Amino acid sequence: MIAAHEMVLPGAPAALARHLSSLVPTLETARTRLRAPRLSDMDAWAEILCTDRARWMDGPMSRNDAFTELAASAGGWMLRGVGFWAVEAREGGEVLGFAGVNLEPSDREPELGFFLRAAAEGRGYATEACAAARDWAWAQGLPSLVSYVDPENLRSVRLAERLGARRDPEAEASYAGTPDDGVAVYRHPRPELAG
């Protein structure tokens, strides 16, 4: 049974939710579509955040905590004009995972982040989605863009490097003595500086 807070309210609230979602930009790559998150994405979101897959993100979380994270990410679109997209396959519409530009309380700069369902890993979807999100972020005039990565998360390290990001020791040093001490900060180069 779906919890009440995970259900769309009928009538005018549902129409308002659809309208607000329509304001979030939709991005397309060769194989993926990045679209506004929906309540119906909660199972895919929980499949990641409520399991060991979330060990790199202070997880696993309870389903209620994961819902709060989904709501906060969706709220980022309204409050800051950035947030996570649901990444779906253009062919068939399956939700593959999530990618986006976010700014969480401990972040010091906008972050390019992603997390995929197990079945979608290793197929290049994250690279496609993150490249589209990164390019969108630069087109919006963001002053900087980083990826915060646990150094032991080698898949995320390789993805950041594939996208052209390089470790920023100065930014990493600024986290010394904080709960995020030890985070690897991968700085994405501005397009005009990328060679």
> What are the backbone dihedrals phi and psi of residue 112, each rounded to the nearest 5 degrees, phi first?
-90, 115
Give CA angle at 28 (14, 59), nearest 5°: 70
Other Cβ atoms less than 10 A from the Cβ of 43: the count is: 13
Domains of the chain, CATH where assigned: 4-187 (3.40.630.30)
Distance between CA atoms of 92 and 156, rounded to whole angstroms? 26
Q: Say what the pTM is.
A: 0.93
Sole residue written with tokens 């980083």 = 146
Q: Are 88 and 94 in contact (CB under 8 A)?
A: yes
What is the pLDDT at residue 28?
A: 98
Tokens for 193, please give them. Answer: 């500086």
Other Cβ atoms less than 10 A from the Cβ of 103: the count is: 16
What is the pLDDT at residue 52?
A: 81
pLDDT in tens, the chain (195 residues): 788 888 889 999 999 999 999 999 999 999 999 999 999 999 999 999 998 876 777 769 999 999 999 999 999 999 999 999 999 999 999 999 999 999 988 899 999 999 999 999 999 999 999 999 999 999 999 999 999 999 999 999 999 999 999 999 999 999 999 888 999 999 999 987 655
Tokens for 154, please give them. Answer: 């080698």
What is the pLDDT at residue 193?
A: 65
